[in-house]
Structure 1
Amino acid sequence: MPSHDGSRQPVFTGFRLGSLTIDLDQGVVLSAEGGASGLTPRAEDLLLLLARRANMLVSREDILETVWAGRVVEDAAITHCVWQIRRALGGDGKDILQTRPKRGYVLVVPDAAWIRPAALPSIEAPSTEAPADVAPVVPVEPAAPPQRGRRRRWPLVAAAALAIACAGLVAWRVSSPADEAIAFDPHIEMSVAVVAPSSLSWLRDTLLRDAIEQAHLRDVEVVVFQGAQTRNPFRGPHLQVQIVQAEPRALEAELSLAQGDAMLRERYRGPAEGLAAAMRALLSRQMPVPMRTQGAATDAYVAGRLAEARFDRATAVLEFRRALALDAGMADARIALAGLLFEQGQADEARDVARTLAGPGADDPVRRCRIERLLARVEPDRLGPAPCARAAMVARVERLQLRDALREIERLNAAPAGAGEWLEQEDAYILALLRLQELERAKYEIDRARAVAERAGWRHAALRLGTNLGPLHMHRGERRAAARAQAQVADGFAALGDTGSAAESRIWVQRAEPIVPGPALAARREALRGIVAQARGSGRLRAEIEALLLLARMDRDRPDAWRAHLDRARARIREARLDGGNSLHPYFVVGEVVGARRYGEALVEIDALARVPSPHPRAQAWALYLQVESHFWRDEMSDAVAGIDAMERAGLDITASPNPCFHAWVLTEAGRRDRASAYLERCNDGARSHEQTDFGLVAAARQRMLDGESRAAWTLLRPRLLALLALPEPTRQEGEALALVARHAALLPEADPALLARATQAVDRIAALDGAGPGLRLGAQLLRDALCRRSAACRPRPLPGWAAEDRFAARLTATSGVLATR
C-alpha cells in the first residue's frame, strides 16, 4: 500500500484477538477502546513475544530467555501471565492461547484477524520506523481465510511453516557464494550489527545472542554496532544481518561477513525463526572449531554480554556475577565484571574482582593482554615491567606521561586495529591531547574519529568520542558551547537506549553551564537534586557524587547546605571504598573545599590522602595543584613554589594541570621571574580560556607593577576590564574576574576612576545575588578596600571571619597606597 511520499509500507502491522488489539509495529497491546490492555507489563511482554511468533510453538526456555531475561523463575510465574492473557482475550482465550504440554505455548491467529495500519487505533507511542538504511517492506496479500476450525487448522499451519522454513533455507544455501578468506582469531575482535525494524527487536536480540555465543565459544571478543556499514574499517571480521523485507509470515534478510577486501554476502527468505539458523550456518563455515564447551556459566556470560549490548548494565553485572558463581575461574566474566564496575565508579570493588586474575606471566598472550588492559585502568600498580603495548599506552595516559603515550599511540596506529582496540587508542589519544592543551589537534581528531565510527555503523562509539567536545570547549572557556555539545550527546545516548550514559552526559551539561547568580539558580538546584536521586536509584555512583559536588558548588553561600552535600559525597565514597586509593573522587571533594576558600581544611585532607596506599596515577598531580593553590592564597609563597617544583621533578606535564597561568602568577609573586615568564608563554598560546588567562594577565601586569611600569600595567588591564563590564549577565566566574582585574587596576595611579567606580557597582550588584559565592563576595570587599586606600577620607573594613585565610589577597590590597603614589 503506497504512502503519501511514495514509499511502500507493510500491509499488516498487527491483529485483533478477542477484546485485544496487538500492534506489532509499536510493540503495544491495546483494549478494544484503544486504551490500556489491563495486563501487567510482564504479561504484555509475553503476549507480544507470542504474537511475533504467531501460530508457532514458543518454548518455555524461549519465554524465560526473552521475557525474564534468562532468570530462573517458578513455573507459576509463566502460568499466571498466561491466565491474565486468556482472561483479557475473553471467552475464547484458551482456544487462542493454547498450551502444548511440556513444550510451550502457541498463539493461534487466523488470517482474518490480521489488520491493515489504517485500522489500528490511534495511540501515543514512540516512533517505530525502521532505520533509514533498512529497505522498505514489500506487501504481500493475505491468503484466503480457512474454512475449518482452529484446532484442526493447527497441524496444517505448522506443516506450512515448516515448509516455508525449509524453502527459505534452501534458497539461502543455493544463493551462497564461494567461500572467501575470513579470519577468526582470538587476537582480533569481531564486530556485529543487526539492522531491523523496532517491531523485530526480539529477533535482533536473538541474533546478537547467537553471534556473541558462537564467538565466545571460540575465544573471540565481540563488539556490537548499532547501524549498517558499507565497508568495514577495522581489522577484525564484521558480521552484518540486515532485514530488508518483513511480512506477516516471512522476511527477507541480507547476511554478510566482511574483512578487508574479502566479503561474503548471502540472502535469506523465510520465517523469522529460521534466520538465526542461517546466520549460525554462515558463521560455522568460517569460524574455527569451538575451543570451549557450552554450559550454565557460558550462558550467563553470554546473557551479560547481550545485556551490555542493550545498555542494560545492571542486568549485565548480575549475569557476570552469576557466571562467576557457576565458574569462579571464568576469566572473561571476571574481566567483564571488573571493567563494568570500574566504569560505574565502583573502583575498589572492581579491583577486588580483578585481583584473582592471572598476573603478567600468564601463558596465553591474548588473555594476558586483555588482563593487562583492564589492570592499566583498574589497578595499574599490578602491571608488570613489560606490559603489552595497549596496556602500556593506557597506563601512560593515566600517569600523565603524555608525550610518551602519544608516541606509543602513533606506533599502534601504524597497524590495523580491531574495533575495540581502535576506540581505546582514540580515547587515549584525544585525552592526551586535551591534557596537553593541544586543542586544535584534539578537535581534528575528535571529528575524524567520529566520522570513522559513524561510517562503520558504530553510533555509540561516535557519541562516546563526542563526549570529549565538552572538555574541549571548557578548556577554551566556551561553557555554553560545552553544555550544548554535551546535551546533544546526551540526547543521542537516550535515543540508543543508553540511559546511564545519557544521565552522565546531562550531569556534564550542569557542570558546563556557568553559574549565573540570581533567582534562576533555584531551578538548577532542584534539577540536580533529581539527578542525585536518579543516580542513587540506578547505582550510578560516579554520577551521584558529581551531582552532589555540583550542588555544593552552587550552595557555597549556604554553609550548612554546602557541608551536607559534601558529607553525603564523602559518605558515598566511603561506602564504595573509593577513599582507599585508585580514585580521584576524594580529590574532587578537596577541590570543592578549596573553591569554598577553606584552605587549611583542604591541606589537612590532602595530607591524609597522601598516606593512602595505591593512589590513583593522577593523584599526585591533583594533590600538588591543590596544595599550590591553598598555600598561595594563605600567603605561604615558599610552600606554593615547592609544590610547583615537585610537579616538575615528578616529570608531570605542567600543561596538563588545571591552570598553568595560575602558576605564572604564583612564581611572579614569589620573585621567580624567569620561571614565571616560561609559564606565561604556555599560558598565552592562544588555546586557553579567559578563566585561565585572567591569572596570566594579572601575572603580566604584576611584573610591570613590580618593575615600576604602572602605565604599561594599566594598558594590559584596561581592555579586559571594559570587556567584562560589557557583559549583559555576568556569570559567577566573570564576576570574580571583574573583581580581580579591577582591584589590581585600583593599585595603579593611571587607572580611570570612573571605570573603577562602574566596576565596583557591577561587582557589588552581582555579589548581592543568590549563588554569588564567597569568592565573589570577598572580591567585592577587596575591591572596595583597594579604592578606599586611594583616598585618605576612607578606612578599609576588616575581612570577615570566613575569609581569614585569604592573607595574600588582603596583603596585596593593603599595598595599594604605596603603589598609587609612585
Structure 2
Amino acid sequence: MSEANAIEAMPGVVRIGNVVIDQARRRVERDGATIELSQRPFDLLCLFLAEPRTLHTRKDLFRRIWKGVVVEDANLSQGVWVLRRALGEQGKDWIRTVAKSGYVFDPPLPIESIGDTPAAGAATSSGETDLLPSTAHASAAAWRGRPFALAMMAAFALFAVAWGAWRFLRPSEPLRVLVIAAPSNESAPPSAPQWPVQLLREWLEWKLSREPDVLVVSALQLADADERGRIVLLSVSESPGDAQRVRLHAHIGNTDEPGGITIDALPDDITQAADRITGAIVDRLLPAGAVQPFPPLVLDAAGAQDYIVATQRREAGRPAEAVAALEAVLKRRPEFGLARLQLAEMLDELGQIGAAKQQMAFAEQWISRLPPAALRIQKAREAMLARDYPAAADAYAALVRDYPYQPRFRLDRARASRLAQRYADATRALDGIDWNLQPLRLRLEALLARAEVQCESGALDAAKKTAEEARKLADDAGWSLERARALLIFANASINDASAEKWLPFERAAAQFEQAGDRMNMLRARLAGEMMRPPERGTGADTLLMALLGEARAAGNREIEVDALRLVARRFRRAADFVRSRDYLVEATAVAHASGDEQRDAALRRDLALVSMVLGDFPAASRHLAEFDATKPQGTLRLLAGQIKVRLENYRGRYDKAAEAADAVTADPVEASTISAAMIDCDRTQTLIATGDLAAAQLAAERCMRSNLPYDLAAGNLAIAKIAVASGDNAEAARRIAAALPALQQLPDVDRWDLGAIAQGLRVRIGDRDGVEAALSEILSQVAPGHVRLTEIEARLGLAELASAGGDLAAAQTQIAALREIVPGDDWYAQSRLALIDAASAFHRGDVTRAQASLRTLDEAARAHADIAMELRAHRLAVSWGNNLCPEARDRELVAKSGIRGASESWLLGDRFDASQPREHLVFDRRRTDPPEGR
C-alpha cells in the first residue's frame, strides 16, 4: 500500500515529530499547545497529509481547495505561509516550494497514526465549519425577523473564514478591518433612506484610514486573516417601538465583548449619532488609550445627503461633479473640514492647484484638531498638493519606516519619489513588500507605479515588460481604466523603438480610455499618438489639440492644458519648426506659472532652453537654464537639463564649464545609469577632444553607445570618427561613419539632419566627398531658414569646407557670407571653423597676408578657450603654405600631451596646396611628434 493510501486509511489523528493533527476535529497541536487554523489552510494540510512527497501544482491546489471559488494567487501563498507558521520552526521546511510549479509536503520524519476520533458531529475537511463567535449568534438573534437580517447573516457566513486565528503573529501586524454596510430596512421612515448607512461607512472608513495601525481592507484581503482581522457590519433601521426614531447599529466580528453598538436617534440627529457610533467603534477596535478624538461630524441631514452624493460621484470617477457636490456641502456647513480636504484633493486632480491650496488654507484650523497620527498623514498629503515632491517623499519615507506593513504608504512614497525624480527611492519603496500577498487592486497599482518609474528613469525595456504584466492582470480583472494606463505606459516606453508605426500603441491606449469612459485621457493618448505620425500623415493633431484644450479648460484642469501645449510644442520640434515650438512653450509656461505648478514650469524651462539653443539664442538658453536651476530639480529632468548645459558650453568653447556641468549631473551613480547620462557622455566627447584628451574621449564615446538607442549609437560612432581624424586614422574614421548610418536612418528628421550634417562634414575632412554636396543641400532644403539654426549652420559649414577643398571660390564665398549672417557671436565652435575656412579662402584668392592674419587671430582665441584641437588645426593650416604661427616646441608639447597628430589641414586648400614645398618643419611629421618613451 502506498503511503498516500495508508494515510487515507489511518484514523483521524496523526503525529509528525512534535506536531499532532486531529483531522476530524480540525485541530493542530504543537508541543502541547493548540493552534487553530481557518478552513482553507486546514484543508490544505489535510491534502498534504493524504498525498505527501507529491508535487501539487498551484492550479491543482486551487481546483481542489478552492473549488468553484474565484480567488487570487495570494490566497494560496498566504495559506502556505499560515501552515508553515502553525508547524513551527522545525516544521516550516516540511512544505517545499518548487519554483514556478507548486509545493511538495516532504517531512523528514514519519507520519504516524496515533488513534481515531468519533465521527459524530465532526466536520470533514471539505465540510463547513461554524467559526462565528458567540457574540455573532446573540446579535443575529436580536435581528431575527427584520428585512435586512438575512443579508447581514449571509455576510457573516461569507466572511467567517476571516476569523480563524493563528496565534503566532508579529506584534507589528496591523489590524485589518472590513466595513460592510447592510441595506437599510425597507420599513424605515422616509427620513432615513440609504444615506445614513452610507454616511456611517464613509465617516468610519475615513477615521480608520487615519490610524496607521489599521488597514481598511477589501473582502479578498481579509480572507484567511488572523485574529487581528475584524468585520464591522453597519445597519440603519426603524427603532423598535418608536417609528419616529432611527436605529444605527454596528456589530464587530471576532471581539470578546458581547453584543454590538446601538444608538437610537431622531432623524434630525442622525449625523450626531453617526459621529458617536463611529467613535465607539474605533474605541472598541483599538487598544484602550490608543485613540484620540477626531473633530466632530458637523453636518445636518440635508448636508449629509449632499456629502454622500459627492462621495458617490468621486468613487464613480466623475471629479467635476464631485467638486460641485462638495461645494454644495460647504455652502451649508463651511466648518466641515473633511469636505474641504476632499474638495482640495479633487481640485488638485483637476489641475486647479491654486483653488486646491485655497481650500486647504480654509481647512487649516480643522486640520490642526486632528489626532497626531492623522495630522502626520495629512502633512504628507499637503506636501503633495503643494507640489513639494521631495518633502512629500521624505514624509512618506518616514511613514513607511514606522509602518512598514502599510502598502498605501509605500505606493504614496513611490509616487512622490517618482515625481521628485528620485527613481532609486521610488524603486526601494516598491521593493520593500511582497505585492503578491496584497489584494489584486494594490498589486496592480504597484505594477503600474513600477512601470512609470522604469519608463521615466530610462529603463524602457523593463518598463514595457512591467506594463505588459500589469495589462494582463487588468485584463483578468476586467478593469478597463487600469488596462488603459498600462497600455499608455507601454506606448511611452516604445517611442524609441525602430517601428515606423509608433502611434499605434497610443491609439490602443486611447481606445481603452474611451471604453473606460475617461474622455480626457483618451484625447491625451490620441494626441500623443498623432505626434508620433510622420508630418504628412499627422493631419488630425490640430483638431485633437483643440478638443483636449477645450475639455481641460472647461474642467479647469491646468495640468492637462499645459501637457497638451507641451506635446504640440514637441511635435513642432519634430517637424523642424523650433520657432513655433517656442511659441507654444511660452504659452504653456504662462499657464503653468499662473496655476502655481512649479514642477511643470521647471520642465518647460528646460524645453525652452533646448529650443533657444537650437535657434542660436545662447543668452536666452542660459537664462532658461538658470530659471530651471532655481527650482532645485532632481533626477532625469536634471540630467536632461545638464545635457543642454554641456552642449551649450561646448558651443561657446567654455570647456571647463562644460566639464563641470557633465560631472555635476552624473555624480549620482544611480541616476548616472540612465539614458540621459549616456547622452551626456556623447556630448562630453566634444569637450575632451577639444581639450586634447583623446583617450578619455574614446571611453566617453563608448559609454555613450551603451544605451543601444539609435541616437546614442549614431552620436557615439561619429564621436569616435572625430577622434580617429584627430589621431590621423582616416580609415577608422570612415568605418565609424559607416557604422553610424544605420542608426541615423532610425532617427526623427531633426536628429537625423543634425547628425547627418556632422557625418558629411567628417567625410569632407577624410577626402570621401562623393555625394556630400547633394546630401548637405538636401538637409538645407528641409530646414526652413532660422527654424533649426544650429543644423543650418552645420550644413553650411560642411558646404563651405567642401567648396574650399574643391577650389570653388565662389561657392565657398556664398556660404561664408551666409554663415556670417547667422552664426551667433558667442558660438565658438562655428566661429572657429568659419575662421579656418575664411583663411583658406583668402589663400585661394592669393591674399596670404589676410590668411595669415586670420589664423593668428584664431590661434590667440583658441589659446584663450583652451581649445588644443583648434589651436593645432590653425597651426597646421598655416604650415601648409609654409608659415609657423608659434614656436615648434609648443606644437611638440601639444601633440605629445594630446595625441592629436592628425593629417594636415591642407585638404582645405585642395589643389592649391604645393606638395613640392619642403616639409621637414611640419609638426604632424610622426618622426618629430612621438611622445617621450613610457608616456
Both structures adopt the same fold (TM-score exceeding 0.5): yes
**In the alignment, which of 368, 379, 387 is matched to residue 376 of structure 2?**
368
Contact residue 697 and residue 723 of structure 2 kept, 8 A: no
Distance 2:764 2:391 in 1: 55
1:506 Cα shift?
A: 2.4
Answering whether residue 556 of structure 2 is matched by residue 548 of structure 1, we say no
Choose from 472, 478, 484 the match for 1:451.
472
Q: Which amino acid aligns with 1:740?
A: I
CA distance in 2, matches of 1:438, 1:550: 22
TM-aligned CA deviation for residue 489 of structure 1: 0.9
1:472-551 to 2 correspondences below 5 Å: 472-474=493-495, 476-478=496-498, 480-511=500-531, 513=532, 516=535, 524-525=541-542, 527-551=544-568
Report if aligned partners of 1:582, 1:617 keep a CA contact under 8 Å in 2.
no
Contact 2:702-2:716 within 8 A present in 1 as well? no
Number of residue equivalences = 591
Which residue does 1:440 correspond to in 2?
461
Counterpart position of 1:314: 320
CA displacement 1:701-727 (0-9 Å, x = unmatched) = 2222222222112101114336757x8
Give, in whole Å, the separation in 2 of the partners of 1:366 and 1:186: 16
Which of 594, 598, 612 does residue 617 from structure 2 map onto? 598
Aligned residue among 631, 647, 650 for 1:629: 647
Query: Helix, strand or coil for the counterpart of 1:741?
Result: helix
Q: Is the 8 A contact 1:393 1:428 kept in 2?
A: yes
In structure 2, the partner of 1:763 is 779
Report if aligned partners of 1:304, 1:316 keep a CA contact under 8 Å in 2. Answer: yes
Tell me which residue corresponds to 2:389: 380
Is the Cα contact below 8 Å between 2:682 and 2:712 reproduced in 1?
no
Give the match for residue 691 of structure 1. 711
Q: Which residue of 1 aligns with 2:202?
A: 216
Alignment equivalent of 2:299, drawn from 295, 300, 313: 295
Identify the match of residue 409 of structure 1 among 418, 422, 430. Answer: 430
Instruction: Give the match for residue 264 of structure 2.
Output: none
1:702 maps to what in 2? Answer: 722
What is the alpha-carbon distance in structure 1 between the residues aligned to residue 174 and residue 796 of structure 2?
Answer: 66
Write the distance in 2 (CA, Å) between the matches of 1:208 and 1:602: 60
In 1, Cα distance between equivalents of 2:454 and 2:156: 46
Q: Which has the higher helix share?
A: 2
Once the two structures are superposed, residues 635-688 of structure 1 have per-residue CA deviations (whole angstroms, 9 ceiling, x without a partner) of 332222221122234677134464622433324433455665554454333x54
The CA deviation at 1:493 is 0.8
The equivalent residue for 2:267 is: none
CA contact (8 A) 1:477 1:691 kept: no
Q: Which runs of 5+ in 2 are unaligned?
A: 1-69, 71-144, 164-172, 182-192, 210-214, 231-246, 254-259, 262-276, 280-295, 401-409, 838-876, 878-903, 908-923, 925-935
1:346 to 1:261, Cα distance in 2 relative to 1, 3 A: same
Distance in 1, matches of 2:780 and 2:659, equals 33
- Structure 1 pair 767/316, CA: closer, same or farther in 2 (3 Å)? same
Secondary structure at the residue paired with 2:807? coil
Amino acid at match of 2:426: A
Looking at structure 2, the residues matched to 371 and 421 of structure 1 have their Cα atoms a distance apart, in angstroms, of 23
CA–CA distance in structure 2, aligned partners of residues 368 and 177 of structure 1 = 35
1:577 counterpart (590, 593, 596): 596
Q: Do the aligned partners of residues 360 and 173 (structure 1) sit closer, same or farther apart at CA in structure 2, a change above 3 Å counting? A: closer
CA contact (8 A) 1:581 1:616 kept: no
- 8 Å CA contact 2:698–2:723 kept in 1: the answer is no
From 802, 809, 816, give the equivalent of 1:787.
802
Cα offset, 1:388, TM superposition: 1.3
Change (3 A) 1:318 1:568: same
CA contact (8 A) 1:190 1:221 kept: no
8 Å CA contact 1:593–1:599 kept in 2: the answer is: yes
- Specify the alignment match of 2:731 in structure 1: 711
- 1:473, CA displacement in angstroms? 1.1
Counterpart secondary structure, 1:387: helix
Shift of 1:780: 3.4
Partner of 1:56: none
Counterpart-to-counterpart distance in 2, 1:811 and 1:344: 52
- Where does residue 661 of structure 1 map in the other structure? 679
Unaligned stretches of 5+ residues in structure 1: 1-132, 134-165, 194-206, 224-234, 240-256, 265-279
Q: Give CA deviations for 1:215-259 in whole Å, capped at 9, x if unaligned.
A: 422225999xxxxxxxxxxx96446xxxxxxxxxxxxxxxxx774
Residue equivalent to 2:764: 746
1:586-621 Cα offsets, whole Å, 9 max, x none, are 434444434444332121123234445x76887644
| Residue identity matched to 1:746 | V
**CA contact 2:711–2:743 (8 Å) conserved in 1:** no
2: distance between equivalents of 1:338 and 1:717? 57
TM norm structure 1: 0.60
Distance 1:790 1:350, change over 3 A: farther
Question: What is the alpha-carbon distance in structure 2 between the residues aligned to residue 174 and residue 688 of structure 1?
Answer: 62
Give the residue type in structure 1 aligned to 2:718: V
More off after superposition, 664-673 vs 740-749: 664-673
DSSP 3-state at the match of 2:765? coil
Q: Offset at 1:734?
A: 2.8
The Cα of 1:509 is off from its aligned counterpart by 2.0
1:607 match: 626
Closer, same or farther: CA 428–561 of 1 in aligned 2, 3 Å: closer
Return the alpha-carbon distance in structure 2 between the equivalents of residues 432 and 375 of structure 1.
Answer: 20
Post-superposition Cα deviations, 1:369-413, rounded to whole Å, max 9, x if no partner, equal 465256357323545676212254444434444334323321133
Aligned partner of 1:466 in structure 2 is 487
Aligned match of 1:251: none
Q: RMSD in angstroms over aligned alpha carbons?
A: 4.8
Contact 1:701 1:717 in 2 (8 A): yes
Paired position in structure 2 for 1:643? 661
Q: CA 1:281/1:331 → structure 2, altered by over 3 Å: closer, same or farther?
A: closer
- Give me the whole-angstrom Cα distance separating, in 2, the residues matched to 1:560 and 1:169: 68
Residues 552, 439 of structure 1: CA spacing in aligned structure 2 closer, same or farther, 3 A cutoff? closer
Q: Where do 1:16-415 residues align within 5 Å?
A: 178=157, 179-182=159-162, 213=199, 215-220=201-206, 237-238=217-218, 259-261=222-224, 290-291=278-279, 295=299, 299-323=305-329, 332-347=338-353, 349-351=355-357, 353-354=359-360, 363=371, 365=373, 368-369=376-377, 371-372=379-380, 375-376=383-384, 378-380=387-389, 382-383=391-392, 387-389=398-400, 390=410, 391-413=412-434
TM-score (norm 2): 0.54
Measure, in 2, the Cα distance between the counterparts of 1:515 and 1:489: 19
**Deviation (angstroms), 1:446:** 1.6
For 1:361 and 1:762, the matched residues in 2 are separated by: 70
Partner Cα separation in structure 2 for residue 326 and residue 495 of structure 1: 37
Higher mean alpha-carbon deviation, 286-295 vs 318-327, is at 286-295
Report the structure number with the largest CA radius of gyration.
Answer: 2
**Contact 2:717–2:736, Cα closer than 8 Å, also in 1:** yes
Give the Å deviation of 1:781: 2.4
Q: Deviations over 1:245-281 (max 9, x none)?
A: xxxxxxxxxxxx77435899xxxxxxxxxxxxxxx99
CA contact (8 A) 2:444 2:473 kept: no
Q: Is the alpha carbon distance of 1:720 and 1:411 closer, same or farther for their aligned partners in structure 2, counting shifts above 3 Å?
A: same
Tell me: CA distance 1:172–1:398, structure 2 relative to 1, closer, same or farther (3 Å): closer
Q: Percent identity?
A: 16
What letter matches 2:223 in structure 1? G
Answer whether contact 1:351 1:379 (CA < 8 A) is retained: no
User: 1:553 touches 1:592 (CA, 8 Å); kept in 2?
Assistant: no
DSSP-derived class of the 2:398 partner = coil
Do 2:467 and 2:489's aligned partners in 1 also have CA atoms closer than 8 Å? yes
Measured in 2, the distance between the counterparts of 1:175 and 1:366 equals: 34
1:40-94 superposed Cα distances (whole Å, 9 cap, x missing partner): xxxxxxxxxxxxxxxxxxxxxxxxxxxxxxxxxxxxxxxxxxxxxxxxxxxxxxx
For 1:282 and 1:701, locate their aligned partners in 2 and report how far apart those are by CA, in whole Å: 80
Q: Which residue of 2 aligns with 1:78?
A: none
